[in-house]
Structure 1
């Protein structure tokens, strides 16, 4: 059963979760790093802001397409080892991007960054699933999310401040160095600890894993839901600075502060999930989360002050993770034997949504306008929470030996 008692749910979590959270923190530093400085990049390379937003889309797309392979490699070679290698790749890609002499070279570096970040957070979720039983898993995932949200918060905030002082190249240089230092720290933290690897590469076994995952009816529901989330919510981020410019607010630090509000909301979620879950239940969390996100998108549509938009992003981050955290737990129970692969597929669809999001928003902004586009996204998120509360049900893992649901 899905334990909802706050005290019991938080007790006895393994210390290794702190190292896992650190890896998520490091990878998330650069997730939103370029969003506040996109207007400067567009100006330097003389490209439209919608083209510059493609930097966010291509990073998310690369993150997504490597997920099936990343999941298989994590299950075969060991999740911790793979996280360390990918952190190093992410750091080097950021440093190379800081030296790019053309938009095309920067675009290529963001592709490499997407590959690097793709091997960290979803694998961290799979490793958390391996270490923590379902009764305590949502709180454990909340702790890992806390590391990720802190990285998002500092990445977006620091990006705006550094961008005002050192430009966008300084942003990538500083963040690249920090991620490489974090890779070394994680490697040191896992030194002397068992880093297990699975069986040799078995493509037939991989195909069986995919069949097993998709034989669980919750798979299609979870993967479709996170694709919609990625499109409607994450698609807004590359345009935040442009929205603020419309209000006459051109400070990159302010844009970074507004975007960082989302991470603050995520951190509030991690601190309150243990008490919210018993009060609202799983269905209540999903309904309230979708409604909260939808309301904030509707408010932002009408262009309030930057302070109000920052508050909206805090509330939106809280609501997003109330909904997304529930979906993650259901996704972690799709299978017992290929959890790393299942969580990577989960991230695949989420980041495909983050790829289509900037494109969809760009089309909507160009053809419908800002208000209708954001209102449609808000209504979609409201409907998503309501629909998931109705159709997403506790089911046993597809390969479970006992046919009773492990979530309730």
Structure 2
């Protein structure tokens, strides 16, 4: 639908369509990204492999995403936004269906890797689109909408695969994920307004040449560091808390463990709120509050009662999604040019952080147990906050963000 034509939707309707399309883009990406986490034991039994090896189904798309994100940003800065978002959504359906039909584990992991190659075309370019078409408070609000879509998509991917797998098997679960991806893609094609403010660069080489500019921008560079810490913290907490809750005295089974991701839904509520609060009080203030909530949540997870642990996880996940909302919106705001490549670099560092969050706390877990993991996540949050307070200051002559 062309929202820019004279007969097209009025401004209020255009805003509604824009928010729905941005939400759908976030949902389509992360319903695929995390869909195997709830069914790893089932995959191990189906392919007759060790359970530890099934972690490759999680890391494969992360590695592919980190590798592709900067290049995709450069391509988009040359050729446009919407066409790549919709095209990638359609292509993503194919490896998802092929994964459902995979007859051996190596082929299944390859399909997951190919999924990861397509995902940055959706979310990297969507973030750049937000930066192109909005400014000031509107950018932060739309980033909150996008973040809500990613959170709900990540939660839905885990829960849908778990529920469908329990009733019909994991292969039909992947068919359902593919159909959801197709529905979201069609929604984006129909609802996302054509970009008004996109100005193409004249070659991929020119886009790539913007990398030194981004990496010499202190506010942008430190935002990449924040992105690293955000996903490091999230992956570390929700990987190793499973080991604690699977052991005595809780002894939770796989179904119960997958249920802990319900706390992710708190992020759907807090992400738009974080964007509004950031506009009103400043990003540094809200990021400081988020870090404090994470620290409180970490302390609560050290308690013995399961209810307190769950409350702690709710605080941690909600606050981390607040951080991600503000950091994502900040990238498009402070990038001086070639916004897609700026976002691509952010995404690359973000997923590298997630990879580190998966294995770095391992030694702390084996040596000190869950308190060791709490300590490393707490240290990362302290470093992030110090960076934010130092480098996220508003330039005196710049417009308010």
TM-score calculated relative to the size of structure 1: 0.85
2:65–2:117 contact (8 Å) kept in structure 1:
yes
Give the corresponding residue for 1:371: 371
Q: Report the Cα distance in structure 1 between the residues aligned to 2:209 and 2:54, rounded to whole angstroms.
A: 40
**Cα displacement (A) at 1:318:** 1.8
Give the corresponding residue for 2:8: none
Give the corresponding residue for 1:173: 175
Evaluate the alpha carbon distance shift between residue 77 and residue 260 of structure 1 in structure 2; reply closer, same or farther with a 3 A threshold.
farther
Evaluate the alpha carbon distance shift between residue 309 and residue 172 of structure 1 in structure 2; reply closer, same or farther with a 3 A threshold.
farther
**Cα displacement (A) at 1:214:** 1.8
Evaluate the alpha carbon distance shift between residue 277 and residue 269 of structure 1 in structure 2; reply closer, same or farther with a 3 A threshold.
same
Q: Pick from 252, 262, 276: which aligns with 1:249?
A: 252
1:78–1:195 contact (8 Å) kept in structure 2:
no
Give the aligned CA root-mean-square deviation in angstroms. 2.9
Q: Report the Cα distance in structure 2 between the residues aligned to 1:191 and 1:228, rounded to whole angstroms.
A: 33
Evaluate the alpha carbon distance shift between residue 202 and residue 162 of structure 1 in structure 2; reply closer, same or farther with a 3 A threshold.
closer
Q: Match of 1:36, SS?
A: helix
Evaluate the alpha carbon distance shift between residue 14 and residue 130 of structure 1 in structure 2; reply closer, same or farther with a 3 A threshold.
farther
1:97–1:110 contact (8 Å) kept in structure 2:
yes
**Cα displacement (A) at 1:82:** 0.8
Evaluate the alpha carbon distance shift between residue 61 and residue 272 of structure 1 in structure 2; reply closer, same or farther with a 3 A threshold.
same
Any stretches of 5+ residues in structure 1 without a counterpart? 1-9, 396-402
Give the corresponding residue for 2:38: 36
Q: Report the Cα distance in structure 1 between the residues aligned to 2:56 and 2:241, rounded to whole angstroms.
A: 14
Q: Match of 1:406, SS?
A: coil
2:225–2:384 contact (8 Å) kept in structure 1:
no
Give the corresponding residue for 2:320: 320
C-alpha distance after superposition, 1:65-97 (max 9, x if no partner): 101111011112211111112212322222211
Give the corresponding residue for 2:342: 342
Q: Match of 2:33, SS?
A: coil
**Cα displacement (A) at 1:352:** 1.2
**Cα displacement (A) at 1:374:** 3.0
Give the corresponding residue for 1:4: none
Evaluate the alpha carbon distance shift between residue 19 and residue 65 of structure 1 in structure 2; reply closer, same or farther with a 3 A threshold.
same
Give the corresponding residue for 1:113: 115
- Asked if 1:145 is matched to 2:147, the reply is yes
2:364–2:373 contact (8 Å) kept in structure 1:
yes
Q: Report the Cα distance in structure 1 between the residues aligned to 2:322 and 2:260, rounded to whole angstroms.
A: 20
**Cα displacement (A) at 1:373:** 2.0
Give the corresponding residue for 1:214: 215
Give the corresponding residue for 1:161: 163
Evaluate the alpha carbon distance shift between residue 202 and residue 175 of structure 1 in structure 2; reply closer, same or farther with a 3 A threshold.
closer
2:82–2:194 contact (8 Å) kept in structure 1:
no
**Cα displacement (A) at 1:33:** 1.4
1:68–1:344 contact (8 Å) kept in structure 2:
yes
Equivalent pairs counted in the alignment come to 388
Give the corresponding residue for 1:389: 389
Give the corresponding residue for 2:285: 284
Q: Report the Cα distance in structure 2 between the residues aligned to 1:64 and 1:269, rounded to whole angstroms.
A: 26
My pick for the range that moved more, 270-279 or 98-107, is 270-279
Any stretches of 5+ residues in structure 2 without a counterpart? 1-11
TM-score calculated relative to the size of structure 2: 0.86
Q: Report the Cα distance in structure 1 between the residues aligned to 2:57 and 2:243, rounded to whole angstroms.
A: 15
Q: How does 1:8-407 map to 2 (within 5 A)?
A: 13=15, 15-190=17-192, 198-203=200-205, 205-239=206-240, 241-246=242-247, 247-252=250-255, 254-262=256-264, 264-273=265-274, 276-277=277-278, 280-300=281-301, 304-305=305-306, 308-395=308-395, 404-407=397-400
1:70–1:118 contact (8 Å) kept in structure 2:
yes
Q: Report the Cα distance in structure 2 between the residues aligned to 1:15 and 1:383, rounded to whole angstroms.
A: 39
**Cα displacement (A) at 1:309:** 4.3
Q: Report the Cα distance in structure 2 between the residues aligned to 1:215 and 1:171, rounded to whole angstroms.
A: 45
